[in-house]
Structure 1
Amino acid sequence: MVDRRVPRWSELRELIRPRRLPGDATDRRLAAAATVGDLREIARRRVPRAVFDYTDGAAGAETSLRRSREAFARLEFRPSVLRDVSVVDPSTTVLGRPSALPLVFAPTGFTRLMHTEGEPAVGRVAQRVGIPHALSTMGTTTIEALADAAPGARKWFQLYLWRDREASEGLVERAAAAGYEALVLTVDTPVAGPRLRDVRNGFTIPPALTLKTMANAAVHPRWWVDLLTTEPLEFASLRSWGGTVAELADRVFEPAATLADVADLRARWSGALVVKGVQTADDARAVVDAGADAVVVSNHGGRQLDRAPTPLAELPAVVAAVGDRAEVYLDGGILDGADVVAAVALGARACLVGRAYLYGLMAGGERGVQRATDILAAEIARTLQLLGVPSVAELTPDRVRLRPGAEWLPD
Structure 2
Amino acid sequence: MQFKKPEFDARRRRLAKALTIEDLRAIAKRRTPRAAFDYTDGSAEAELSIARARQAFQDIEFHPAILRDVSKVDTSCAILGGRSELPFGIAPTGFTRMMQTEGEYAGARAAARAGIPFSLSTMGTASIEDVKAVNPHGRNWFQLYMWKDRDRSMALVERAAAAGFDTMLVTVDVPVAGARLRDKRNGMSIPPALTARTVLDAIPRPHWWFDFLTTEPLAFASLDRWSGTVAELLDTMFDPSVTFDDLAWIKSQWPGKLVVKGIQTLDDAVAVADLGVDGIVLSNHGGRQLDRAPVPFHLLPTVAAAVGDRTEIILDTGIMSGADIVASLALGARFTLVGRAYLYGLMAGGEAGVDRAVAILAEQIARTMRLLGVSSVDELEPGHVTQFQRWVPRARP
Higher CA-based Rg: 1
Partner of 1:105: 90
Contact preservation (8 Å) 1:205, 1:234? no
Contact preservation (8 Å) 1:182, 1:271? yes
Contact preservation (8 Å) 1:78, 1:399? yes
Query: How far apart, CA to CA, are the structure 1 residues paired with 2:6 and 2:376?
Result: 34
Partner of 2:80: 95
Partner of 2:355: 370
Q: CA deviation at 1:408?
A: 6.0
Q: CA deviation at 1:84?
A: 1.3
* 1:19-34 map, 5 Å: 19-34=4-19
Amino acid at match of 1:158: Q
Partner of 1:48: 33
Query: How far apart, CA to CA, are the structure 2 residues paired with 1:281 and 1:23?
Result: 53
Q: Deviations over 1:204-241 (max 9, x none)?
A: 11100111111111121111111111111132311211
Contact preservation (8 Å) 1:273, 1:291? no
Q: CA RMSD in A?
A: 1.2
Q: How many residue pairs end up in the alignment?
A: 394
Partner of 1:193: 178
> Structure 1 274/23 Cα, relative in aligned 2: closer, same or farther at 3 Å?
farther
Contact preservation (8 Å) 2:218, 2:225? no
Query: How far apart, CA to CA, are the structure 2 residues paired with 1:234 and 1:247?
Result: 16
* 1:142-153 map, 5 Å: 142-153=127-138
Q: CA deviation at 1:368?
A: 0.2
Partner of 2:343: 358
Partner of 1:284: 269
Query: How far apart, CA to CA, are the structure 2 residues paired with 1:288 and 1:159?
Result: 19
Q: CA deviation at 1:21?
A: 3.0
Q: CA deviation at 1:320?
A: 1.8
Is 1:275 paired with 2:260? Answer: yes
2:321 to 336, 346, 351: 336
1:231 to 205, 212, 216: 216
Contact preservation (8 Å) 1:262, 1:291? no
1:85 to 58, 62, 70: 70
Partner of 1:76: 61
Identical positions, percent: 60
Partner of 1:204: 189
Query: How far apart, CA to CA, are the structure 1 residues paired with 2:357 and 2:238?
Result: 32
**Of 283-292 and 172-181, the range deviating more from structure 2:** 283-292
Structure 1: runs of 5+ lacking an equivalent: 1-14
Contact preservation (8 Å) 2:308, 2:332? no
Is 1:36 paired with 2:21? Answer: yes
Q: CA deviation at 1:22?
A: 3.2
Query: How far apart, CA to CA, are the structure 2 residues paired with 1:51 and 1:198?
Result: 9
Amino acid at match of 1:311: P
Partner of 1:12: none
Query: How far apart, CA to CA, are the structure 1 residues paired with 2:139 and 2:310?
Result: 22
Partner of 2:143: 158
* 1:361-400 map, 5 Å: 361-400=346-385
Secondary structure of residue in 1 paired with 2:189: coil
Amino acid at match of 1:398: G
Partner of 1:118: 103
Task: Report the TM-score, using the length of structure 1 for normalisation.
Answer: 0.94
Task: Report the TM-score, using the length of structure 2 for normalisation.
Answer: 0.97
Amino acid at match of 2:96: T
Secondary structure of residue in 1 paired with 2:315: strand
Q: Deviations over 1:57-79 (max 9, x none)?
A: 00010000000011001011011
> Structure 1 78/206 Cα, relative in aligned 2: closer, same or farther at 3 Å?
same
Query: How far apart, CA to CA, are the structure 2 residues paired with 1:261 and 1:405?
Result: 38
Amino acid at match of 1:127: A
1:318 to 295, 303, 306: 303
Q: CA deviation at 1:403?
A: 3.0
Amino acid at match of 1:137: T
Partner of 1:4: none
Amino acid at match of 1:82: L
Q: CA deviation at 1:406?
A: 5.4
> Structure 1 404/45 Cα, relative in aligned 2: closer, same or farther at 3 Å?
same
Contact preservation (8 Å) 2:263, 2:283? yes
Structure 2: runs of 5+ lacking an equivalent: none
